[in-house]
Structure 1
């Protein structure tokens, strides 16, 4: 099979398209023929060795955790799916090696769900990691329809998913983004504010009574600003980038593969309440270009690879 690999920790410049043996399908796993693979910042951070303290990589290393594709073969005790089923998933294994930037990937059935009928392959590949991160962080802060929530980096992959999930719950959503993305946020169901100096004052002008909850998807001083804007309960702040959120009474969220959560996102998508904006879809052999786009920090929605 064709796959993108690294032979040691490195950068986009070190990615290579090569031929590898077809992966073996273990018990509880299925073999998925990849149609598209999502690109996430964690892919190039892991490849650079920046996650080495928490996750080991083995080489040759195929990056990627997001996949959308068709079940090719099922392993022992993997009757949840059958050959021909269209699926998608967050395929994070115990160590990083056999990722989704390939023509074929094995996945535990617990990490997969049926692909939304309303989403293209490219859109579906952009859902799992970002969508689950948004879904699980929203659950962590206990968001309800009566809440006003502040979402930092609301136009990015995770942020745009969170805006839609929060809006589907009936919450009032205020989201930070550059001005070029304000119309995009309005279309998703958020009231946009420009990030940067004076953010707290701009948020207070929109919601003088304060925030019920806040979600940090950007880092920097977002947690401290969020805590200053909360009405009272500091446990209703969650961050995916700033571990100090937990020390300050909130939550630090590291997304978990979860088939039931992914199925909930499938339902939202098929009800017309959740979608994915694909900023760029590139063929597998242009993975290095996809990483550079992701590293730029100026992606609206998702970058994906087509296979």
Structure 2
């Protein structure tokens, strides 16, 4: 039977393991794909630990990890006109991405152009789409200054490049060890940590016009004070806190229009998802630990072995 990487109860890394699962069967509006690559995101381990945003549906265990997948269509359910067996596609899986086979919702799935690698494609449905959607949600005019906290991670990498491409000045906050990497995105680097607001003011003496928070907690509260207009504050890390501060959470990104736009940016070379770590599927635990530790830069992707 196909292999998958799952957790069978909520907890720490000790609840993760490989298992054999029956191949999923596509229902109405669903595509079955043979997974070629799967993105690794902080939300994966957060769900495993039992965390979920208010209002989010409960996760049933055992559950396959992973919210991003790219692969080839091998079967179609009813109501999937426009797709065919053999299509190269990417999207947010319904049955987890850390698996040899998974189901994608046809309505939120897009095709992978030949110019986009499997590993780059797997970095787009959550991380890059969130970064793109957040910048568009803020709607800052050309020449405005945007602060991105957590700029060295997968979402921040995409957001920074999209914002720079739109003519924004971007200040990126990240760990000191990520300085060179963050600056390579075309942003003004500031070190994260206590006293962040003072360092941002030094880097942007005229202030910031918008904030994309990817850290949450005290960092979010500190940078919120820098904005005169709190409607220009969005967070992908702390939905409740950002709403209380007068901002908004990053909007839904399971949108084929957003994902399609991101894929096109990658195809044309306008956006590089910066996949810095490609890990064989059999080393899924190491990939999750790298992201869970918070020290990885760019994007981590699992690469699946060829199917027999």
TM more than 0.5: yes
Q: Distance in 1 between matches of 2:128 and 2:191?
A: 23
Deviations along 1:127-174, one digit per CA (max 9) or x if unpaired, are 211112212222222233231100001011111111011112111111
List aligned pairs for 1:1-307, cutoff 5 A.
1-51=2-52, 54-91=56-93, 93=94, 98-230=95-227, 232-242=228-238, 243-253=240-250, 255-307=252-304
Q: Secondary structure at the match of 2:276?
A: strand
8 Å CA contact retained: 1:116, 1:269: no
Q: Secondary structure at the match of 1:58?
A: coil
8 Å CA contact retained: 2:266, 2:273: no
8 Å CA contact retained: 2:65, 2:96: yes
Q: Distance in 2 between matches of 1:168 and 1:181?
A: 21
Q: Distance in 2 between matches of 1:167 and 1:71?
A: 35
Q: Secondary structure at the match of 2:107?
A: helix
Q: Distance in 1 between matches of 2:173 and 2:270?
A: 21
Deviation (angstroms), 1:116: 4.5
8 Å CA contact retained: 2:38, 2:302: yes
Runs of 4+ in 1 over 6 A off after TM superposition: none
Q: TM-score, normalised by structure 2?
A: 0.92
Q: TM-score, normalised by structure 1?
A: 0.92
Q: How many residues align?
A: 301
Q: Secondary structure at the match of 1:13?
A: helix
Deviation (angstroms), 1:11: 2.9
Deviation (angstroms), 1:99: 0.9
Deviation (angstroms), 1:55: 2.7
8 Å CA contact retained: 2:37, 2:301: yes
Deviation (angstroms), 1:268: 0.9
Deviation (angstroms), 1:241: 1.8
Q: Distance in 2 between matches of 1:147 and 1:118?
A: 32
What are structure 2's unaligned runs of at least 5 residues? none
Shift of the 226–118 alpha-carbon distance from structure 1 to 2, 3 Å rule, reads: farther
8 Å CA contact retained: 1:223, 1:237: no
RMSD in angstroms over aligned alpha carbons? Answer: 1.8
Q: Distance in 2 between matches of 1:234 and 1:7?
A: 41
Deviations along 1:180-230, one digit per CA (max 9) or x if unpaired, are 322222221211111123322222222222111011001232323323222
What are structure 1's unaligned runs of at least 5 residues? none
8 Å CA contact retained: 1:67, 1:125: yes
Q: Distance in 2 between matches of 1:36 and 1:114?
A: 14
